Amino acid sequence: MSQAPEIATNGVVTQTGKSIIQLDRVTKTFWRGKEPVKVLNELSLDVPEGSFEALMGPSGSGKTTLLNLIAGLDKPSSGTLMAAGTNIGTASDGELAKWRARHIGFVFQTYNLMPVLTARQNVELPLLLAKLSSAERRKRADTALRIVGLEGRSDHYPNQLSGGQEQRVTIARAIVHDPTIIVADEPTGDLDRQSADEILALLEKLNKEFKKTIVMVTHDPAAAERATIIRRLNKGQLQ
């Protein structure tokens, strides 16, 4: 059973152990014409290394914005965000691209698989930028598919797989380069309950057995209960 952590009055979650993600008074502002829209408002938190975090909150609360900042897809408007040893706010776009390739694995609600590629070829995609032989890429892709239980589907195309199997391919693609952090945006949103439970069990396995730090955005209370820490956002702040 998941437990909500203690939250100090300043919104910083109190945890023990080494932090892999640290936000200090992070604000993110977007512009709607000339009108500023503050999506995150001086948000501070520490994410312990090896934790499985669930981010919950109503639509517009800032969950996906926070996930994108942690993943280095965007930068804070103010404040400091350190993730896996890198200051996200001060790193250049080129530095962030290299950092993501080393440290971040992405799992999306809509899978984002290439329909003309097999499961193995889809999983190999993050490795194309690495200096690896085709044999080494294949070996690593096959290992990732075996971890997610799809070793018998490596030559299947996405349209030959169920939704749950497609999401397993997505997870295999996310872990094939052995990332430090896995970010998952509504990973069970398009799945039936049985398939969703299987995906959540797989994420738990990656967290417990492979010690991956996982940050997951979800609206599903059943999904959040699989996490070790549940964080709730509302109007850009931790509640």
> What is the CATH topology of the domain spanning 49-74+98-232?
Rossmann fold (3.40.50)
Predicted local distance difference test score (pLDDT) of residue 130: 82
- Average pLDDT, rounded, for the chain: 90
In 3D, which of 111, 105, 21, 142 has the Cα closest to residue 70?
Answer: 21
Rounded CA-CA distance 212/203 in Å is 9
The mean pLDDT of 32-36, rounded to a whole number, is 89
Going from N- to C-terminal start, the domains of the chain cover: 49-74+98-232
Query: Contact, 72 vs 82, CB < 8 A?
Result: no
Three-state DSSP class for 187?
coil
Rounded CA-CA distance 184/186 in Å is 6
Strand 213-217 and strand 35-48: pairing?
Answer: unpaired
| Digit-coded pLDDT (tens) for 114-173 | 999 999 999 999 998 888 999 999 999 999 999 999 999 999 999 999 999 999 999 999
Residue 7: pLDDT over 80:
no
Predicted local distance difference test score (pLDDT) of residue 17: 61
| Digit-coded pLDDT (tens) for 12-28 | 333 446 999 999 999 99
Query: Contact, 88 vs 121, CB < 8 A?
Result: no
- Among 10-19, 28-37, 185-194, whose mean pLDDT is lowest? 10-19
In degrees, rounded to 5, the angle at the alpha carbon of residue 8 between the alpha carbons of residues 4 and 11 is 85
Outline where the chain has alpha helix (H).
Answer: 63-70, 93-103, 119-124, 134-147, 163-175, 193-208, 221-224
